[in-house]
Each structure stands twice: as C-alpha cells, then as structure tokens.
C-alpha cells in the first residue's frame, strides 16, 4: 500500500480588514493571524474521489487578532481547503 506525505507548515499573516462600504470612511483594522496547516495529496487518502477536482487538500488551525495593540478581539480560525493555500 502506497502512502502519501502530509506536510505541516506554520503560517503567519499580517494585513488589514475593512468593514462596511469600501470608502475612506469605512472601519479599517490591523489583523494578525498565525497557526499551523496540514497539507497532503488526496490521491493516497480516503478522499481520493476528490482527485478529479484537485490533487492537494488540507486543514488549517489558528488564531486571529483584530487590532494592533488590543488583545481582546482574538478569534479561532479553522479552514478545510483544496489546493495549496
């Protein structure tokens, strides 16, 4: 039986988040996100029927903080996705 390789990567993103209309008066905040992601080839998994759509799939876990100095806006991040993201 052939086994696929599962890769674990750390991720770190920094950016901005806009809320409301895309105008100068909209509310824009600093956003920091960090976590880990697991990626693998779906050909060797129980989900191999998805190979018609994509070769790679993965799961991402992390935390996201909204605001530069405040730490009271922390949220959990959980994503399941296809491809390399």
Give mean pLDDT, residues 5-34. 79
pLDDT for the residue numbered 56:
81
Please check whether residue 25 lies inside any domain of the structure.
Answer: yes
Its domain, for residue 24, covers: 6-82
pTM value is 0.63
Please check whether residue 33 lies inside any domain of the structure.
Answer: yes
Q: Determine the Cα–Cα distance for residues 79 and 83; give it in Å rounded to an integer.
A: 12
How many structural domains does the chain have?
A: 1
Task: Please say if the pLDDT value at position 74 is more than 50.
Answer: yes
pLDDT band at residue 24 using 50, 70 and 90 as cut-offs:
low
Contacts of 22 (CB under 8 A, 6+ apart): none
pLDDT band at residue 63 using 50, 70 and 90 as cut-offs:
very high
Please check whether residue 1 lies inside any domain of the structure.
Answer: no
Q: Determine the Cα–Cα distance for residues 51 and 40; give it in Å rounded to an integer.
A: 12
């Amino acid at each position: 039986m052939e086994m696929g390789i599962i890769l674990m990567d750390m991720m770190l993103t920094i950016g901005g988040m806009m809320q409301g209309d895309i105008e100068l008066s909209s509310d824009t905040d600093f956003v920091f996100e960090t976590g880990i992601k697991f990626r693998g080839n779906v050909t060797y998994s129980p989900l191999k029927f998805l190979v018609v759509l994509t070769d790679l799939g993965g799961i991402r876990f992390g935390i996201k903080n909204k605001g530069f100095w405040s730490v009271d806006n922390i949220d959990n991040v959980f994503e399941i996705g296809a491809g390399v993201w």
